[in-house]
Amino acid sequence: MSDSATAPKRRLPQINPVWVLLTVLVVAIIFMNPRFIEPTGYMNFLKRAAPLAILAAGQVYVITSGGFDLSVGSLITLVVVGSSMLTNNDPTATYWVIPLMLAMGLGVGAVNGLVVCFLRVPSLIATLGMMITLNGLAFLWSGGAPRGYLPDTFRFFGRELIRDVPLVRFIPVSVIVLVVVVGLLAWLMHRTNLGRQVHAIGDNPVAARLAGVAVNRVRITAFMLSGLSAAIAGILLGGFAGVSTDVGSGYELQAITAAVLGGAQLLGGRGSVPAALGGALALTAIFTLLNFLGLPQPVRQVVQGLILIAAVAFAMHRRRQTGT
Amino acid sequence: MKHILMAAGALAFSLTPLYAQNFDDPQEFAKQRDQLQAEPMGPEGQPWLQYIGGDMVDTAALGLEAPATVCFSNAGVNNPWRVVGYTNMVEELKNHASIADFIHVDAEGSDDKQIADIDDLLAGGDCDVMIVSPNTTAALTPAVERACEAMPVIVFDRGVNTDCPVSFIHPVGGYGFGIQGAEFITSKLDEGANVLMLRILPGVDVLETRYSAGRRILEEAGMNIVGAEFTDGDNAKTKSIVEDYLMRGSIDAVWMDAGATAVAAIEAFEDSGYDIPVFVGEDQQDFLRKWQDEGLTAIAPTYPTYQWRTAVIAAARVIEGEPLPGPEWVLPQPAIVQENLDDYVNPAMPPLHYAMCGCEEMADYPQAWGGN
Amino acid sequence: MSIAEDTPRRKAGFRFERWAPLILLGGALAIYVVVALVTGQAQYLTFDNLIAILGRSIALGITAIGQTFVILVASIDLSVASLISATAVLASVVMDGSPAMILPAILAAIALGGLVGLTNGLVVSGLKVNPLIATLGMSLIIQGCLSAFVSNFAGEVPAAFQMFAYGELGPFPVALLFLGLLAVMAWAVLRFTKFGSDIYAVGGNEEAARFAGIKTGRVVILSHVICSICASIAGLYLASRLRSGAPWIGSDGVYDLESIAVVVIGGTVLAGGRGGVWGTMAGMLIFSLIDSVFNIAGVDSFAKQVLRGIIIVAAVAFYAIRSKRIVA
Amino acid sequence: MTDPVIEMQGITKSFPGVRALSGVSFGVRPGEVQALVGENGAGKSTLIKILSGVYQADAGEVRMNGEAVHFVHPVESLRAGIAVIYQEFSLLPERTVAQNLFLGREPRTRFGLIDSAKMRADTREVLALFAAAGRIDPDRTVGELDVATQQVVEIAKAVSTGARVVVMDEPTAALNEAECEELFATVDTLRARGVAIIYITHRMREITRLADRVTVLKDGEVAARFDEVPAPDAIVRAMVGRDIADFYAPPATPEEIGDPVLTVRGAGNAMLHQIDLDVRAGEIVGLAGIQGAGRVALAMALFGETPFEHGQVTLNGERVSFQTPRSAILGGIGLLPGDRKSEGLVLMQSVRDNGMLTSRAFAPLWSSDRRNAFTDRARMDALLDHMEIRAASYDQDIRALSGGNQQKAIVARWLSMRPKLLIFIEPTRGIDVNSKAGIYHLMRDLAREGAGILMISSDLPEVIGAADRVLVMQEGRIAAEFPHGATEQDIMHAATGETGVAA
């Protein structure tokens, strides 16, 4: 339309249903437990959600580019186990171990991407293989049980609080990490060429390639960001909870669930980092709520399953209604 | 979806009364309580050679000749307890010239795979004696029965529903573990104190008996059990659960059915700014160190990993034709308490090392166990 | 016009894809023989041992046959593992040691499988939910319902039913013969029935199938029902083999992801429309052989996992690397 | 004269933003070949899709043997005896010829199993109608067959349904001369059997050879109806219906044509042989040929997607050898793919995102998506405005736009890169007549600004009208060259290899 330059029309911002869901859940939690509105309540909640939220923000890149990353859970385990092996009780080791772990996350992501791009193995299988391999590596490296404690310097990010903050009294360091990482990933996804091209290759890789997009480079970058986010999540989880051998198991499916709750389209083309954050918070809120309700683990599983199917069915329904 | 839920619900209601399996057996409870008090026989200071109850089986009639091949079907090395145990086993092998060959197959935590593994060993291996650490009791029974027909079998850790093995090696048991922790709590706190019970998983026999014994004692002493939660053995989840409980009220003691997440639970108190209450953990180094550093009021019941040594010793005796305790070899199951804590804390050992390993005197200690 | 239209397809005399599973299987077998010989354990090269290897992965094989159907229609089923647990528990509880209840238990298990498959199929084809998500959700629901009420081995199968897993007919285990029979039946369905033909059509090009008058939704649903029923049978087999059912046997065996891996290694493509049940059987045998190789070579269980992950990727790359299609 | 088997009356159909058909009446009798002609976008495909039940008409009715029918699904029309052979093949490449032929209606044995023997025999019987029968083994998988043979299978599939009405949509597009003759013979056989045939084509020669009657569609209306086949000129006039000089932009004057932008000498690869080609600045070169002649292969070779394996390529005076589209784009080549939906657009993204895609692809990954070395948002919007793209907003998903507007957005993608050579593949496929003229003038404007343009099109009038020079490809070679103003006959002869007309 020729007048669009003079009066650029913006689409009415459609509210992503995940925010509605999250609001309802938070209200329900507050109803169940009024102390949730105190800093201890919601800060603990955010602290708990931080690793999943970061993971989901990374996963969105891969999903939007048209793939899956199932390897993030075992990558978390490998990061925690590996850090404990490398720091070996030495507080000063943190300063090189953390960069090394971030590099390892990037490296694992790069391998995933290379396998998908050049060996042409579908990402579902490629990252499944990576998941099994990394789990084995974590065990192999540690001989079955991690050998070192994580020093407090390492655990700072996942465990410590910054106290005497005005208004909220205290802020967990992990919440700051969450804000910074998700903010960066959101900026990359929605304000840079990378983000637009991730969308493009997930939408139509052939068209993107013929338009000059370096499809492989973008895809590998998406996997690397997912790997990096898993490494960060691993550092937070290790910091929050200390060493154990199966820290990350199950996180890959939770991350995909969170991204899908946030409206990311499986097989690519659509995805939003803030909405994935919303999805992660909503998922954590569901768990918290079920906990408050005193519902046992099995019920949580059922609820998670129902919500997952309902969210996607609802999205498909809406898409068909809008005729697209 | 609705149909499924209804069907599952209907199914469940028909199940629940039938299959609430009995993990609360007063007779077994009493028996294990006695065994905890009993004076074990055998060499003092070497609990892996000691036994409670005096029955012995003769193995000379089995007619094996040294050196022989021992095959080991392992349920898995998928948690630190089993890793420490398996290391004990490998190190113990060095003490036995009569065991020429040792074949280890790992079922990676799957019943189906372990059955296949045992069949493989029977079909192709040149096994003379088989050691089995069953993944689950009922499922492995037929496979073990078949193995018994071919050769002498030693079973340890979990049992099987047959008495065909030469000996079934195990410590006192789950009730004993539960009793030790809960009695410690009742001895430290008054009636009405708030106790939080943390459990790993439902349905695992050895853990269910720990819980039922613990709960029985706490209830009898009039403790207020504020909750019993499953943690999946997940540190992060444990910490979250404890934090949530702390938001709702005070806790005077924490009872755990396994110590893997004990430190995470303690940290929840620390991070929320509360004093650490009376704690029941297990013999993992990280917990023992925390206990020592923070001066906790705590106890660490154990499910000793030295039973893995005992399994090898038993196999060697079978080969050599020596008698051994059987058909059940009940090992002592000591708890670590304040008085002997210093004997077990060893900063050189990894955090998830189980201190009650009976391995301190072995040749490659501590390197083989990951210590420095 | 698109690139494909203007580029005449090159005629391929030797269709690599058809033979790839056999090449892989041959490779696995060769490795097995070499490892047995090199480690001086020739006793592993007997007929008995071959049977033992064949019998290693019966449950996986049965599940994978079902999984082949859904993957051929370009769907996928992640709910098989929890369904296996559920049917194993259901069967062993219904039987509860009584031989008279064997038949009702089998029927109940298959009915449960049919119901789950029907629901999966309806959600996938009716609500258009991505099959990965639909069946993942279903898996959580089944597992949740199951572990809400059962937490350990429940019930007991009568000795007569243990024939399924432990019986032998001549030198062959009954279960192995059953698996063979099931594979032949699956092959026959895919090869000789209209339904089988429809499966390939829907998986290959859903639009073309619909234009040809095929009720595509029905084909997808029926494939899911078959897949779930196969999983129920695997559950029955495991109940027979383990004498009872427990809520973790499916997930412990990782039957969901492993059955998918087996199907894909067998040359069935995830995008649907190409592949078949013999490839899946080859994939299953490759898995069994690899397991046995690890056992006789005494590979440390952690290294085993590392190798297994690499092998899965490498096997799929073996097919995929030749394609020019962009995958994601 | 027999009664018509199909009668369509007053058919009207609109799509969002486009009126595809208005008040079209059309009929066909048993045992006749009715040619349906019209330019791309005239409404032929829409009419056929309404006949076969893919679309429902907004108004009007379809009668079959005198009874009103209302198909809501292609299966219903198929059952009623109407078989449509679409241009896009609906064959399953992984299945055999026999399986494809009887897809969805396989013969069964008494036990309900597929009767493979009968299916094979029936396949042979159907194929016997075609001269190609001897070459086709019913058990071969379709993917192994070449395009022409696949076309035969596609036709055989329609015939095998026992249809009384067969619709053929440009069936000769992929066939060489001998194969065309086989097809004509098949059509004659069908006609003799009393089958009614609706034959869609652009080629006058085929109309003269086959048709009994001709209906011409233009802009969604019946422009002319001939009960006897008229001279080709009459048909063409009815099809275009306007002053051709105005519809196409005027050709370049000699002064406008500059130095060669692209020179190719002796280049080739598996699909191309001995390609010699020049494209000059300011010039539009048309590339004609039948499907499979290698026109797209040539474009993709120049663009680095399926590179040349030997020979020389010079772009703007420099020797180049592009191995990927990226390097070709950096070198100054742009390409508009022929299949917009599957090769051109990222459908779920906005109009602006589609326009900026290429410029972003060459900017640093981490830099802002609003501005890069090639363009920025404001300039892209100005470009889109300049091309008069009709969209509610440039933030709108591009899939909601009409084909012509989508095509313009892709052109905008390239304009921001200022390419020296632009390759258009089927630039007006599926675009309505008015937008077509816009695209032609746009191409001419680009040429005037100094770009060389290579246009690949299957629409012969378009190649003739829009290009300054026409190259004809045949079997991977450039077979002939014609100046502006060549006739369709000349080009068709060269394309099908009937006579070796050299330029």
Answer yes or no: is C72 within a domain.
yes
Count of the separate structural domains present in chain C: 1
For residues A146-160, average pLDDT: 87
Cα-to-chain-centroid distance, residue D181: 21
Q: Which residue has the higher pLDDT, D367 or B9?
A: D367
With CB atoms and an 8 Å threshold, state whether B9 touches C55: no
HEC string of D412-427 equals HHHHCCCCCEEEEECC
Helices (H), D224-293: 232-240, 244-247
Report the alpha-carbon distance of residue B307 to residue B300 in Å, rounded: 18
Instruction: Fill in the amino acid letter for C159.
Output: A
For residues B284-294, average pLDDT: 93
C205 — contact with chain D (CB < 8 Å)?
Answer: yes
Task: Give CA torsion, residues A3, A4, A8, A9, to 10 deg.
Answer: 100
Instruction: Fill in the amino acid letter for C323.
Output: S
Residue B9 has pLDDT above 50, yes or no: no
Which of B2, B91, B271 should we substitute to test contact with A (largest number of A Cβ atoms within 10 Å)? B271
Report the alpha-carbon distance of residue D446 to residue D456 in Å, rounded: 16
Count of the separate structural domains present in chain B: 2
Full-model pTM? 0.90
Same domain, B182 and B268: yes
For residues A152-177, average pLDDT: 89
Q: Give per-residue pLDDT as tens, A72-110.
A: 999 999 999 999 889 877 889 999 999 999 999 999 999
Report the 10 Å Cβ neighbour count for A197: 29
C14 — contact with chain D (CB < 8 Å)?
Answer: no
Answer whether A200's CB lies under 8 Å from A221's CB: no
Residue B2 has pLDDT above 70, yes or no: no
D297 — contact with chain C (CB < 8 Å)?
Answer: yes
D8 — contact with chain A (CB < 8 Å)?
Answer: no
Question: D388: which 2 tokens?
Answer: 């008069």
With CB atoms and an 8 Å threshold, state whether B15 touches C46: no
Percent of the residues in chain D that have a pLDDT greater than 90, as a whole number: 33
With CB atoms and an 8 Å threshold, state whether D90 touches C12: no
pLDDT band at D498 (very low <50, low <70, confident <90, very high): low
> CB-CB: which of C53, C119, C304 is closest to B4?
C119
Q: State the average pLDDT for chain B.
A: 88
The residues, ordered by sequence, that sit 6+ positions from A29 with a Cβ below 8 Å of its Cβ are A36, A285, A288, A289, A292
CATH of D6-245, one of 3.40.50.300, 2.40.50.140, 4.10.780.10, 3.40.50.720: 3.40.50.300
Answer whether D458's CB lies under 8 Å from D430's CB: no
pLDDT reported for residue A317 = 84
Among the candidates B247, B281, B299, a domain finishes at: B299
Same domain, B308 and B162: yes
The b/e string for D311-332 (b: 16+ C-beta within 10 A; e otherwise) is bebebbeeebebeebbbbbebb
pLDDT reported for residue C243 = 85
Beta bridge partners of B132: B73, B155
Answer yes or no: is C303 within a domain.
no
Beta bridge partners of D27: D7
pLDDT reported for residue B94 = 93
D332 — contact with chain C (CB < 8 Å)?
Answer: no
Task: Give CA torsion, residues D207, D209, D211, D217, to 10 deg.
Answer: 0
Report the alpha-carbon distance of residue C100 to residue C80 in Å, rounded: 28
Beta bridge partners of D64: D6, D67
| Architecture of the domain whose range is D257-332+419-503 | 3-Layer(aba) Sandwich (3.40)
CA nearest D23: which of D14, D12, D15? D12
Per-window interface: D 306-345 vs A, CB < 8 A? 325-326, 329, 335, 337, 342-345
The residues, ordered by sequence, that sit 6+ positions from A95 with a Cβ below 8 Å of its Cβ are A153
C108: left (phi over 0), alpha (psi -120 to 50) or beta: alpha
A161 CB neighbours in chain B (<8 A) are 271
C244 CB neighbours in chain B (<8 A) are 138-139
Report the alpha-carbon distance of residue B178 to residue D442 in Å, rounded: 85
Instruction: Fill in the amino acid letter for A80.
Output: V
Answer whether C32's CB lies under 8 Å from C282's CB: no
B37: left (phi over 0), alpha (psi -120 to 50) or beta: alpha
The b/e string for D402-414 (b: 16+ C-beta within 10 A; e otherwise) is bbbbbbbbbbbbb
Report the alpha-carbon distance of residue C120 to residue C240 in Å, rounded: 26
Helix (H) / strand (E) element for D197: namely strand D196-200
Q: State the average pLDDT for chain A.
A: 89
**Does D6-245 match D257-332+419-503 in CATH topology?**
yes
DSSP assignment, residue C154? Answer: B
Q: Give per-residue pLDDT as tens, A15-59.
A: 788 999 999 999 999 998 888 888 888 998 999 999 999 999 999
Instruction: Fill in the amino acid letter for A206.
Output: V
Q: What's the CATH number where B63 sits?
A: 3.40.50.2300
Same domain, B167 and B83: yes
pLDDT band at A2 (very low <50, low <70, confident <90, very high): very low
CA nearest C3: which of D329, D325, D42? D325
Q: Give per-residue pLDDT as tens, D59-107.
A: 998 999 888 988 888 888 888 889 888 766 678 888 899 999 888 888 8
Q: State the nearest Cα–Cα gap between D305 and chain A, in angstroms.
A: 8
For residues D6-17, average pLDDT: 85
DSSP codes of every residue in B239-282: HHHHHHHHHH---SEEEESSGGGHHHHHHHHHHTT----EEE--
pLDDT reported for residue D241 = 67
D295 CB neighbours in chain C (<8 A) are 6
Q: Give per-residue pLDDT as tens, D272-289.
A: 999 999 999 999 999 988
pLDDT reported for residue D254 = 86
pLDDT reported for residue B15 = 44
Residue for token pair 């019943």: B111
Q: Which residues does A contribute to its contact with B (CB < 8 Å)?
A: 33, 35, 40-41, 44, 48, 51, 84, 142-149, 159, 161, 237, 240-247, 288, 291-292, 296-297, 302, 306, 309
Same domain, B168 and B181: no
> CB-CB: which of D91, D94, D295 is closest to C200?
D94
pLDDT reported for residue D40 = 66
Answer yes or no: is B85 within a domain.
yes
- What is the residue-level pLDDT of chain C in tens, covering all 328 positions? 445 445 444 444 456 777 888 888 999 999 999 998 888 877 778 888 888 888 888 999 999 999 999 999 999 999 999 999 999 999 999 998 889 999 999 999 999 999 999 999 999 999 989 998 899 999 999 999 998 888 778 888 898 998 898 888 888 899 999 999 999 999 999 988 999 999 999 998 888 888 888 899 999 999 999 999 999 999 999 999 888 888 888 888 889 989 999 999 998 988 888 899 999 999 999 989 998 888 888 888 889 889 999 999 998 898 888 777 777 7
Beta bridge partners of C172: C169
The segment with the largest mean pLDDT, out of B91-105, D91-105, D133-147, is B91-105
What is chain D's Cα-based Rg? 24
Answer whether C246's CB lies under 8 Å from B136's CB: yes
Phi and psi angles of residue B161, each rounded to the nearest 5 degrees, phi first:
-85, 55
Answer yes or no: is C25 within a domain.
no
Q: Give per-residue pLDDT as tens, D199-228.
A: 988 777 788 889 999 999 888 888 889 988
C197 — contact with chain D (CB < 8 Å)?
Answer: yes
Percent of the residues in chain A that have a pLDDT greater than 90, as a whole number: 60
Q: Give per-residue pLDDT as tens, A166-182.
A: 888 889 999 999 999 99
Answer yes or no: is C94 within a domain.
yes
With CB atoms and an 8 Å threshold, state whether B139 touches C244: yes
For residues A212-233, average pLDDT: 96
> CB-CB: which of B5, B8, B138 is closest to C244?
B138
Cα-to-chain-centroid distance, residue C56: 14
As separate numbers, helices (DSSP H) first and strands (DSSP E) second, chain B gives 12, 13
C141 CB neighbours in chain B (<8 A) are 1, 4-5
Angle between helices D403-415 and D377-386 (to 10 degrees): 130
Report the 10 Å Cβ neighbour count for C176: 18
pLDDT reported for residue A283 = 92
Helix, coil or strand: residue A42: helix
B113 CB neighbours in chain C (<8 A) are 253, 291
Which of A61, A199, A213 should we substitute to test contact with D (largest number of D Cβ atoms within 10 Å)? A213
> Touch between chain D and chain A (3+ CB pairs, < 8 Å)?
yes
CA nearest B119: which of D195, C168, C155? C168
Count of CB pairs separated by less than 8 Å, A with C: 165
DSSP assignment, residue C244? Answer: S
* Upper half-sphere CA count for residue D478 (Cβ side, 13 Å): 21
- Strand ranges (E), chain B: 56-57, 68-74, 99-106, 129-133, 153-156, 167-171, 194-199, 224-230, 253-256, 278-280, 298-299, 324-325, 328-331
Report the alpha-carbon distance of residue A275 to residue A281 in Å, rounded: 10
CA nearest D142: which of D133, D131, D151, D134? D151
Answer whether A224's CB lies under 8 Å from A106's CB: yes
> CB-CB: which of C149, C295, C302 is closest to B15?
C149
Which of A147, A251, A306 should we substitute to test contact with B (largest number of B Cβ atoms within 10 Å)? A147
Q: Which residues does A contribute to its contact with D (CB < 8 Å)?
A: 1-2, 4-5, 8-11, 188, 191-197, 199-200, 203-204, 206-214, 217-218, 221, 265, 269-270, 324
Lowest mean pLDDT among B102-111, B212-221, C84-93: B102-111
pLDDT reported for residue B339 = 93
Helix, coil or strand: residue A211: coil
Q: Give per-residue pLDDT as tens, D314-348.
A: 998 899 999 999 999 999 999 999 888 889 999 99
Q: Give per-residue pLDDT as tens, D170-188.
A: 887 767 667 778 788 888 8
Cα-to-chain-centroid distance, residue C327: 23
B247 CB neighbours in chain A (<8 A) are 33, 35, 40-41, 44
Q: State the nearest Cα–Cα gap between A255 and chain C, in angstroms.
A: 12
Residue D423 has pLDDT above 90, yes or no: yes
A13 CB neighbours in chain D (<8 A) are none
For chain D, give every domain's residue range. 6-245, 257-332+419-503, 346-418
Instruction: Fill in the amino acid letter for C260.
Output: I
pLDDT reported for residue B8 = 47
Domain that holds residue B127: 47-172+304-331
Query: What is the greatest pairwise CA distance in chain C?
Result: 67
Question: A234: which 2 tokens?
Answer: 């691993």
Answer yes or no: is C4 within a domain.
no
Residue A301 has pLDDT above 50, yes or no: yes
Same domain, B57 and B67: yes
C309 CB neighbours in chain A (<8 A) are 128-136
B103 CB neighbours in chain C (<8 A) are 298
For residues B102-127, average pLDDT: 87
With 0-12 / 13-18 / 19 or more C-beta atoms within 10 angstroms meaning exposed / middle / buried, residue B196 is: buried
pLDDT reported for residue C149 = 80
Report the alpha-carbon distance of residue A55 to residue A77 in Å, rounded: 13
Report the 10 Å Cβ neighbour count for A106: 18
Answer whether D239's CB lies under 8 Å from D222's CB: no
Same domain, B162 and B65: yes
With CB atoms and an 8 Å threshold, state whether D365 touches A192: yes
Q: What ipTM, to 2 d.p.?
A: 0.88
Domain that holds residue C224: 59-280
Answer whether D77's CB lies under 8 Å from D51's CB: yes
